[in-house]
Structure 1
């Protein structure tokens, strides 16, 4: 994700260094950040929980994301910085354990996302080897992480340079999938009579929030926009609204073409399975290949961009001077620590567990950004009431997800508590040992 923002930002400056990123270019960053590997992996889990009402879950999660978008829009317009949420946290909370701990949690959130992408890649790869032993799921997940760890270590730009092309292809495939599949929907499969309980829909909404976490990437490109005060808010809201529409279209097509029982059986590659009724095995293979490309590009982009920058900030206290592959040269251990954590989560947790951890982490991060905004809302001319609604939405979704984990996956909740405690404890210990401080930009 991160390298796509950096690459587009660099391309949109003329020789004189003039800022020249326009609205729809910024929107494409947000849509590309959200509509990635997550929809290929998380959809089956969401349908298992909410059944044929899954599209309602995507709408609810999208509404929560829209309210958080308000804070990101206001903060990004007032503090245009490549630091994005890290900058916002420091501005709101100051240089302390709270802002530092949440930055570490942000890094861990990207680790969860990487693990989810690796696990999804493995699940789709396994469809080419239907009789293979289950252990090969871990082999594929491990292999793809090791591959892109090597790519980042060597510094090859081959995959990064194709990132924007891959994003365009996968988004196009999802739109075509929705449009073609819409005409073969069986209305009875969408009947409200088959909806599960309201609680299940709420649980699913909290889980699929992870599929919206990428909208914040637009704020990282604010410095390169012609007029961030106008362009940034519009780009944020447009990207989330368009993404909601695509997610709803995809989910309706899936549950409208396959009985829930068949989707659950193939939950780890539900999108490909849903293509069979109207596109046959050719459609299944096309979606599978699209998923493999999507998860691969997401692993490369997240490992290169978001995860490494978050690690550098946590370690050094400031944003790297240059956004290029030399960033790992400043702290090469970060690459291996990040990859090592990803391998642990990808090999010892399933898609449902990883997606719950990822959604939980990002819901807390967005709640924290909103709390930070509440402390400085007079500087951004924001409405405290809207910010409070966003905070309540994020925390309520987190509470729903925590309750679901208690009932269905207590181990996931234990891991989450350890991660949360570890993030802030690590920040406290690191500050004591190094006297590292978090540095913020100065804005007029």
Structure 2
């Protein structure tokens, strides 16, 4: 399925950068300390394993995307496998809700970093700046996919450039003894940490929504998915080697989100701190941009097949309703809630939807030509990550667990109520 001549709006590299920008967001800053508390200096191995799991899931998405390219992305894959029933509808509402939460969380991270620079970390200004970022990126997405892709490319190039420099200077001066396998924790601890590091890869699912903007998605979408995962894995492994080769695991845990800046100080001094703040601002901006991008094609597709109300397929001026609704939900969360307390819900929901897509693929693998063995391994590893996450992170975050149950219940209610209403209207 190729786009008609003259309609090309996105290249493979631009689609790749949409995914990389969604993955290499603020997560790399927050994850190192949390993962280090579990896996110690073996965090680089945790990222490598997580990257392999992401590649397995990416294989499934690539095969499905080549066969069923659509602006509906992974939600199209659900409907192809399960039909346009309640399961697909509930999964769609869940994914849309999770997207809003992730955008709000990343925007809040941007607000925190930006306010630390311009307002001494004032919480009020942190929220103001977070809302401003959502509004600006909403405007950019309304302009069209070409503008989104171009801006995203610039942002990702800047972020990757800084992280490559960071990794190079820290690895060049590291202390190999800090990374000695003799200091690694037990294998089960390293495996458990994968439940944390895998979340840094969840953004690759966003690439499936670029199919509508690629001139030849059957060939280009798989390339973009594989390339994005390869880039993200390389960056994560290199950064974690540089950090844990410079600081002890205890220091990384203590410094938390500033661990990268502290690791850069021995070589770059105070400039290292400034460099990491710039990286955080760019990466969060790119992640919000990429997080809002799927809302347009996704909701238009879901409205066209009856999963969402028809209004989601319309626009207010140049602004698609789906984009406006996601932005409004994200802003509401930023202003009214402590998003960090429920941030992990987005990851948990994404894992559930990813697993459901793989189950749907079992019904389609003869059509897509996918290996059933690879699909089974992908499902086991993804569900396993979700289970480990529930028994570790969610078990210690009752607020997130309650919110997750609430969002699932609300998605079920909305789907059943909307479809019952639609049936009555047709009667």
Question: Aligning the two structures, in what range does the TM-score lie when normalised by the shorter sequence?
Answer: 0.7 to 0.9
Cα drift, residue 166 of structure 1: 1.5
Partner of residue 159 from structure 2, selected from 137, 154, 170: 170
Equivalent position of 1:383 in the other structure:
371
Q: Does 1:427 align with 2:424?
A: no
Cα drift, residue 149 of structure 1: 4.1
Equivalent position of 2:319 in the other structure:
326
Superposed CA deviations along residues 3-57 of structure 1, whole A, max 9, x for unmatched, are: xxxxxxxxx989x426586544543443333223332333333223322111111
Contact 2:33–2:253 (CA under 8 A) maintained in structure 1: yes
Q: Distance in 2 between matches of 1:23 and 1:334?
A: 26
User: Relative to 1, partners in 2 of residues 1:242 and 1:333: Cα closer, same or farther, differing over 3 Å?
Assistant: closer
Cα drift, residue 375 of structure 1: 1.5
Partner of residue 144 from structure 1, selected from 129, 135, 154: 129
Q: Does 1:418 align with 2:410?
A: no
Q: Distance in 2 between matches of 1:267 and 1:379?
A: 46
Contact 2:195–2:388 (CA under 8 A) maintained in structure 1: yes
Contact 1:82–1:223 (CA under 8 A) maintained in structure 2: yes
Superposed CA deviations along residues 375-422 of structure 1, whole A, max 9, x for unmatched, are: 222221222222111111111110001110354333322222222232
Q: Distance in 1 between matches of 2:19 and 2:290?
A: 14
Equivalent position of 1:340 in the other structure:
332
- Name the SS of the counterpart of 1:95 in structure 2: coil
Q: Distance in 1 between matches of 2:228 and 2:7?
A: 24
Q: Distance in 2 between matches of 1:32 and 1:331?
A: 19
User: Relative to 1, partners in 2 of residues 1:413 and 1:121: Cα closer, same or farther, differing over 3 Å?
Assistant: same
Superposed CA deviations along residues 357-389 of structure 1, whole A, max 9, x for unmatched, are: 232121111101111111222221222222111
- Name the SS of the counterpart of 1:48 in structure 2: helix
Q: Distance in 2 between matches of 1:388 and 1:114?
A: 31
Structure 2 counterparts to residues 151-230 of structure 1, below 5 A? 151=136, 162-230=151-219
Q: Distance in 2 between matches of 1:256 and 1:218?
A: 33
Partner of residue 403 from structure 1, selected from 388, 391, 397: 391
Structure 2 unaligned spans of 5+: none
Cα drift, residue 84 of structure 1: 0.9
Q: TM-score, normalised by structure 2?
A: 0.85
Superposed CA deviations along residues 164-190 of structure 1, whole A, max 9, x for unmatched, are: 211210111111111121111111221
Contact 2:67–2:218 (CA under 8 A) maintained in structure 1: yes
Q: Distance in 2 between matches of 1:375 and 1:13?
A: 27
Equivalent position of 2:285 in the other structure:
296
The aligned length equals 415
- Name the SS of the counterpart of 2:393 in structure 1: helix
Structure 1 unaligned spans of 5+: 1-11, 438-444
Equivalent position of 1:394 in the other structure:
382
